[in-house]
């Protein structure tokens, strides 16, 4: 129980930070949701990185490396290290400028004003919530598995999930954005140190060290694929380059962009982000591959890191490292919960007259109530979800938000884009999410074993839909490819076929001339 005690101390520290933030929080939505847009450069980087590093990044990556090998790094981390900083630079900075100038706090409020639409904005809100809830589920599942595995089963999985959900909810409920970013400073530093320390400690405990086990893996024909891209078809591999487009479309990432104090905060983030990704993903993936030799035959590979820690690290250190893992889980979950609450309050409650009727204090009250409701829903679903954390994230959260990226890009950079193009893209994404879920369920019975060729799902359609061990593919590509390309095509086609927004709105977001006064230049959107 020593590791459990150490993790419990960590959770108490998180709760204390949240309570201190509560005493600083003002009773208005600008402060509760965005900390009055005063997040500084280093805190901005730590918080933005924490929002994107979930159980997927630590537990999911190591579990998938256990199944498929080190190619998982190229699959996700390499493309993420390039694409995510670029989206933060080109999209995040422009969102910041427009939010600063026009007071936007969410993507949906920006879309509504940019395209002069109301109902379409509500549809985008609904789809965003539906896609974000699986991401919340992943965080709760990851936290539950950490507490269960690190305690040797003494903390049962439902209780572990409940503890994580309770601490996260309390932190966001009382502290809002301020409590979230304060916690992220502590959490991000902790899990950035996790990987290097875990590799060093576990390798030191092994006879012959880490290198000796890698040589054994390479020399064994049955395991050599773990050090290659052998089990990753080319189309499957390159499909993942589109997944990082989802990062800036996640509501919690966009809301963090609105919260920055100055645009210079983005500069440090763009530079440090690829280095931070490498510091997290490389150790976790190498440990996942090593786990195939030390813990063969695991039914649930997402827990491989916890098995390695409990077997090859001192109990007190296993507790600290376990806290490092759970900090990554909770760092993102707090932002996800806050993002859903922000969207509900601003895009539904306030938009349909709630703030006018109940005031700012009433808005914060309703926001906190929604936090409780959505967390309970995510917790209950997490208890009955048997899927891999990695596959659940890629199939629904990442693919769906990546396919919404053309909507954001069009809103920011294309004058001629219209609300009907946004509606067509949104319906396209929603249709594909439903189709993917249906085809996945329909093909579970014919899923091939690892290393076997993909199975055709509907023979009448030829090789349109095939089933690999874990995923449905479309002509060999992951569904994210037709989702993104189709979304972009819908945006372009339906925008060209429908009338543009009013001249006033276009001039508002794409001014032909900007006043030369310093104040105007400071508040003008970035081009």
pLDDT tens for each residue of 464-490: 999 988 789 999 999 999 999 999 999
Cα 439–chain centre separation: 24
Average pLDDT, the chain: 85
**What is the reported pLDDT for 523?**
42
Cα 468–chain centre separation: 24
- Note the pLDDT tens digit of each residue in 147-191: 887 787 888 889 888 888 888 788 787 777 888 888 777 777 777
Taking CA atoms, 26 is separated from 39, 312, 360, in Å, by 16, 47, 10
**What is the reported pLDDT for 180?**
80
pLDDT beyond 90 at 365: no
User: What are 81's two structure tokens?
Assistant: 């290290």
**What is the reported pLDDT for 350?**
87
Cα 497–chain centre separation: 34
User: What are 450's two structure tokens?
Assistant: 């690892």
**What is the reported pLDDT for 341?**
85
pLDDT beyond 90 at 32: no
The Cα 262–Cα 37 span in angstroms is 9
Least confident residue range of 261-265, 317-321, 386-390? 386-390
User: What are 49's two structure tokens?
Assistant: 């990185």
pLDDT beyond 60 at 518: no
Q: In this structure, is residue 383 part of a structural domain?
A: yes
Q: In this structure, is residue 525 part of a structural domain?
A: no
What range does the domain containing 96 cover?
Answer: 2-18+27-399
Give, to the nearest 10 degrees, the angle between helix 61-68 and helix 265-294: 50
- Note the pLDDT tens digit of each residue in 220-236: 998 999 998 887 888 98
- Note the pLDDT tens digit of each residue in 242-292: 999 998 898 988 988 998 989 989 998 999 999 989 988 999 899 999 999
- Note the pLDDT tens digit of each residue in 428-467: 999 999 999 899 888 989 999 877 888 999 988 888 999 9
Task: Work out the pLDDT band at 33, boundaries 50, 70, 90.
Answer: confident
**What is the reported pLDDT for 107?**
93
Residue 455 φ/ψ, nearest 5 degrees: -100, 140
Q: In this structure, is residue 362 part of a structural domain?
A: yes
In terms of pLDDT, which residue wins out, 258 or 355? 258
**What is the reported pLDDT for 19?**
76
Q: In this structure, is residue 450 part of a structural domain?
A: no
SS (H, E, C) 277-317: HHHHHHHHHHHHHHHHHHCCCCCCHHHHHHHHHHHHCCHHH
**What is the reported pLDDT for 419?**
96
Helix (H, G, I), strand (E, B) or coil at 450: coil
Q: In this structure, is residue 187 part of a structural domain?
A: yes
List the CATH number of the domain containing 260.
1.20.1730.10
Q: What is the mean pLDDT of residues 3-30?
A: 76
**What is the reported pLDDT for 521?**
42
**What is the reported pLDDT for 46?**
84
Helix (H, G, I), strand (E, B) or coil at 104: coil
Nearest by Cα to 480 from 384, 387, 399: 399
Helix and strand totals (H; E) in the chain: 26, 3
Q: In this structure, is residue 430 part of a structural domain?
A: no
Task: Work out the pLDDT band at 380, boundaries 50, 70, 90.
Answer: confident
Query: Is-contact 369 52, C-beta < 8 A?
Result: no
Residue 473 φ/ψ, nearest 5 degrees: -125, 155
Task: Work out the pLDDT band at 69, boundaries 50, 70, 90.
Answer: very high
**What is the reported pLDDT for 176?**
79
Q: In this structure, is residue 68 part of a structural domain?
A: yes
Q: What percent of the chain has pLDDT over 70?
A: 93
Task: Work out the pLDDT band at 115, boundaries 50, 70, 90.
Answer: very high
Helix (H, G, I), strand (E, B) or coil at 222: coil
pTM, to two decimals: 0.85
Count of domains forming the chain: 1
Q: In this structure, is residue 436 part of a structural domain?
A: no
pLDDT beyond 70 at 331: no
Residue 342 makes CB contacts below 8 A (sequence gap 6+) with 33, 105, 106, 251, 255, 367
Nearest by Cα to 94 from 245, 252, 266, 244: 266
pLDDT beyond 70 at 216: yes
């Amino acid at each position: 129980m020593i590791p459990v005690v150490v993790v419990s101390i960590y959770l108490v520290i998180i709760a204390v930070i949240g309570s201190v933030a509560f005493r600083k929080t003002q009773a208005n939505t600008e402060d509760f949701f965005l900390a009055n847009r005063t997040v500084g450069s280093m805190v901005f980087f730590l918080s933005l990185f924490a929002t994107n590093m979930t159980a997927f990044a630590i537990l999911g990556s190591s579990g998938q490396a256990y199944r498929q090998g080190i190619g998982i790094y190229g699959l996700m981390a390499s493309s993420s290290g390039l694409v995510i900083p670029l989206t933060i630079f080109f999209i995040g900075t422009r969102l910041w400028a427009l939010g600063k100038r026009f007071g936007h706090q969410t993507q949906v409020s920006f879309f509504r004003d940019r395209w002069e639409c109301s109902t379409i904005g509500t549809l985008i809100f609904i789809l965003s919530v539906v896609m974000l809830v699986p991401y919340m589920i992943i965080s709760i599942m990851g936290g539950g598995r950490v507490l269960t595995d690190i305690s040797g089963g003494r903390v049962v999985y439902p209780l572990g999930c409940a503890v994580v959900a309770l601490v996260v909810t309390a932190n966001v409920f009382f502290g809002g954005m301020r409590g979230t970013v304060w916690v992220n400073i502590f959490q991000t530093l902790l899990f950035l140190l996790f990987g290097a320390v875990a590799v060093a400690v576990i390798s030191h405990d092994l006879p012959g060290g880490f290198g000796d086990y890698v040589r054994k893996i390479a020399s064994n024909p049955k395991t050599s694929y773990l050090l290659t891209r052998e089990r990753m078809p080319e189309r499957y591999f390159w499909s993942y380059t589109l997944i990082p487009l989802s990062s800036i479309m996640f509501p919690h990432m966009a809301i963090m962009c609105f919260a920055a104090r100055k645009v210079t905060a983005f500069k440090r983030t763009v530079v440090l982000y690829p280095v931070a990704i490498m510091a997290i993903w490389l150790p976790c993936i190498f440990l996942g591959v090593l786990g195939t030799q030390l813990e063969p035959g695991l039914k649930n590979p997402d827990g491989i890191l916890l098995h390695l820690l409990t077997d090859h690290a001192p109990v007190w250190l296993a507790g600290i490292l376990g806290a490092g893992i759970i900090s990554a889980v909770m760092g993102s979950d707090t932002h996800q919960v806050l993002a859903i609450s922000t969207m509900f309050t601003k895009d539904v409650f306030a938009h349909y007259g709630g703030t006018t009727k109940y005031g700012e204090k009433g808005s914060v009250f309703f926001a906190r109530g929604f936090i409780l409701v959505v967390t309970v829903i995510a917790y209950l679903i997490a208890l009955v979800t048997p899927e891999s954390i990695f596959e659940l994230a890629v199939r629904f959260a990442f693919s769906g938000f990546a396919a919404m990226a053309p909507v954001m890009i069009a809103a920011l950079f294309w004058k001629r884009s219209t609300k009907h193009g946004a509606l067509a893209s949104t319906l396209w994404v929603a249709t594909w999410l439903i189709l993917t879920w249906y085809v996945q369920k329909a093909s579970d019975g014919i899923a091939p074993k690892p290393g076997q060729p993909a199975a055709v799902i509907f023979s009448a359609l030829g090789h349109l839909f095939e089933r690999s061990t874990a995923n449905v593919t479309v002509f060999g590509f992951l569904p994210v490819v037709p989702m993104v390309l189709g979304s972009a095509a819908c945006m372009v086609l339906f925008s060209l076929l429908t009338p543009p927004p009013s001249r006033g709105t276009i001039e508002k977001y794409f001014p032909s001339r900007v006043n030369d006064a310093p104040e105007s230049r400071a508040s003008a959107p970035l081009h």
